[in-house]
Amino acid sequence: MSIDKEGPLRRELYAVLQVSPEATDEEIKKAYRHWAQVYHPDKYQDLQMKEIATQNFQRICEAYEILSDENKRQIYDIYGMEGLTSGLELGPKLNKPEELKEELEKLRRMKEQEKMAAHFRPSGTILVNLSLPEFLDGDGIMRGMAMSSEVHSQLSKRNTVAMGGNLEVQENSGGAAASAVFRHQLSSVSSIEFMGSAGLQGIIGVQTTRELSVHSTATITFAKSLRDGSVNLSNTWTRQLSETALGNIQLLLGPQSSIAVGWQNKDEKMSASGRLEIGTSSFGASARYSRRFSSKSHGRIAGKFGSSTLEVEVGGGRKLSEFSTIRMLCGVGIQGIFWKFELHRGGQKIIIPVLLSRNINSAFAVGAFLFPTSLYFLLKKLVIKPYYLQKENRRALENKEKTSAQVKEARAGAERAQRLLQNVANRKRNRQVEINGLVITKAVYGSRKALKRREESREAHDESASEVIDVTLPLNFLVNDSGQLKLHGGVKKSGIMGFCDPCPGEPKELYMEYTYGGQSYEVMVDDYAELLIPQEDHRI
C-alpha cells in the first residue's frame, strides 16, 4: 500500500497499535490481539481499573477498525481522521482502491480550486535606483524608478485572467504599459494563453503549453509587435532531470534570434541555477547559488557575463516572518561598486540598488562588503537575536497557557494507561535484569529545548518537568522476549500507549538511558525517527 510520506501527523493510529505504517494486514491483526488482551475490561475486577481499561480498549478497537479496512486505511493515510469524517460515501461505486484514490484526488483538486477561486493573487515589484556619486555631485540621489504590478484571478475551474501594468522613469524620460493574459485549461495536460499589451511594448500573442510526459513539458509562443509589426516565435522544452533538478532549452526566432539553455536545482539546503544564451547580436551567461544556513538565514552568490554586462554579487538574507524576507547584496560590475537591498513580502518585492562608486577599487570593494556584513552580525547579536528569543518565549508561554487543560487531560490519560501496563512491565523488566538483558533505566519524552536544558543543567529539572513526560514504564513494556525494543519511523511517538504530547506545537524528542549486558547506553531520537535498541554506538 502506498503511504503519503508527507503526512506523518496522520499516523497516530499506527502508534496506538505500535505497528509500522507499512504493516501488513496480518501484522495489524496480530498487534490488535496483543493490545486487546492487555486492555480488555474483563481482565480487571476493580471498577476504577475497569473504567481505565475500557477507555484504552476503545482506542485499540477504533485503530483496528480503521487500519484493517482497506478503503478506510487508504483515506486515513492520505487525509487523516478528517478524511474519514468528510462524508465520502464508500459504497459499491468505490470498491477498488484505485477508484477510491481517484475520487479522493478529485475532491482534493476541487477544494484547492474553490480556495483559489475565492482569492485574488496580487504580485508586484518596485525598483528604485539610487546613486551616491550623483548625490555628491549635487545631481540628486535618484537615478530612476520602475514599478510593476499584476493580479491573477481564477474565473472558473479552467479559466484564469491576469492583468498588470508597469511604469518606468529614467532621468528625464519615462513610459508605461498595460497587459492582460487570459489562460484556458484545455485538459489536464495542456493549456492555452492569449496575451496583449499596450504602451512601451505593445504586442499581441498566443501561447500553448502541453505536458509531453510525466517529466517533460513543451511551450510554443507566437507574438507580434504592434509598433513595428515584427514577429517572434519561441519554443521552450522543459525536462525534469531528477527529483530536485530541472533543465530547459529555449529557441527564439525573430529580429533578435537566440538559443538558450537553462538549469535549476533546489533542495532543502541549497538552490542553484544557470543560463547560457547565444544570439545573433549578443551573448550572455548567468549563474546563481544560494545556501541555507538555518531555517531563517541564507547566503547567495550570483554572477552575469556577456557582451554588454559583467557583474558579480555576494550577500545574504534573513527570513523575518513566514511571508517576509530581507536580503542585502554587495556587487561589482561594469557600472561600478554597488549595494542592493531587497524586501520580499508574499508576492510583493522592493528592490533598491545603490551605486557607491563608478570606479572599481579592490580596497573599496572589500570595505563595501565587510561594512554591512559586520553591521549585520553586530545587530544580530545585540538586537535581532534577543528580539526573536523574547518573541519565541512569549509565544511558547501563550501556547502553554492555551493548551494547559488539553495537556493536563492527556497526562492523566497517559498515567491511567501506564497503570494498566505496570504489572506486565515490571515482570518484563525483572526478567531482563535476571538475564542481564535490555533494561530501560530512564526515558523521558517531550520538548527538545526542555531536554537540552535538562542535559546542560540538572538545576533546570523542575523548570522543564512540565514539558516532558516519564515514559520509562511503557518502554519497558514494549521490550520483546528477545531483549530488543523497536519504535517505528514516521510515527509520532506521543500516540504510543502510555505516552502523551506534553507540549503541543513544539518539536519533541525521546531521551533514553538503558543497560544491556552489564554496559550503560544512552540515546536521543527525533519524534518521528525509527529507533532500534540495543546498539553499540549508544554505549556511554
Q: DSSP for 339-396?
A: EEEEEEETTEEEEEEEEEESS--HHHHHHHHHHHHHHHHHHIIIIIHHHHHHHHHHHH
Distance CA(508)–CA(155), nearest Å, equals 44
**CB proximity list for 363: less than 8 A, separation 6 or greater:** none
Which H, E and C letters describe 184-239, residue by residue?
A: EECCCCEEEEEEEEEECCCEEEEEEEEECCCCEEEEEEEEEECCCCCEEEEEEEEE
* 475-479 CB contacts, 8 Å cutoff, 24+ apart: 475/440, 475/443, 475/512, 476/425, 476/426, 476/428, 476/429, 476/432, 476/439, 476/440, 477/421, 477/424, 477/425, 477/428, 478/18, 479/428, 479/429, 479/432, 479/437, 479/438, 479/440
Percent of the chain with pLDDT over 70: 88
Q: 83 versus 168: which is more confidently predicted? A: 168
pLDDT tens digits for range 45-98: 778 788 888 888 888 888 888 888 887 887 777 667 766 665 554 444 444 555
Would the pLDDT of 391 be above 70?
A: yes
- pLDDT at res. 89: 47
Provide the mean pLDDT of the chain: 84
Task: Tell me the pLDDT band of 13, cut-offs 50, 70 and 90.
Answer: confident
Which residue in this structure is represented by grid cell 464508500?
Answer: 90
Task: Tell me the pLDDT band of 6, cut-offs 50, 70 and 90.
Answer: very low
pLDDT tens digits for range 116-138: 544 566 889 999 999 999 888 88
Would the pLDDT of 354 be above 70?
A: yes
Beta bridge partners, 535, equal none
Task: Tell me the pLDDT band of 114, cut-offs 50, 70 and 90.
Answer: low
pLDDT tens digits for range 459-474: 444 445 678 899 999 9
Distance CA(76)–CA(86), nearest Å, equals 11
- pLDDT at res. 93: 43
pTM score of the predicted model: 0.61
Overall average pLDDT of the 363-375 stretch: 88
Tell me which range, 10-24, 335-349, 392-406, is most confidently predicted by mean pLDDT: 335-349
- Using alpha carbons, list the distances in angstroms from residue 237 to 186, 263, 293: 19, 12, 33
Task: Tell me the pLDDT band of 105, cut-offs 50, 70 and 90.
Answer: low
Average the pLDDT over each of 16-20, 100-104, 245-249 and give the range with the smallest value.
100-104
Task: Tell me the pLDDT band of 111, cut-offs 50, 70 and 90.
Answer: low
Would the pLDDT of 228 be above 80?
A: yes
- pLDDT at res. 8: 42
- pLDDT at res. 7: 43
Overall average pLDDT of the 216-239 stretch: 92
Overall average pLDDT of the 436-457 stretch: 83
Tell me which range, 196-205, 332-341, 446-455, is most confidently predicted by mean pLDDT: 332-341
Distance CA(168)–CA(425), nearest Å, equals 75
Task: Tell me the pLDDT band of 351, cut-offs 50, 70 and 90.
Answer: very high
- pLDDT at res. 86: 57
Task: Tell me the pLDDT band of 341, cut-offs 50, 70 and 90.
Answer: very high
Overall average pLDDT of the 447-456 stretch: 76
Would the pLDDT of 99 be above 80?
A: no
pLDDT tens digits for range 472-503: 999 999 888 888 898 888 888 888 888 988 88
Task: Tell me the pLDDT band of 291, cut-offs 50, 70 and 90.
Answer: very high
Distance CA(524)–CA(468), nearest Å, equals 14
Overall average pLDDT of the 345-360 stretch: 90
- pLDDT at res. 450: 82
Would the pLDDT of 1 be above 80?
A: no
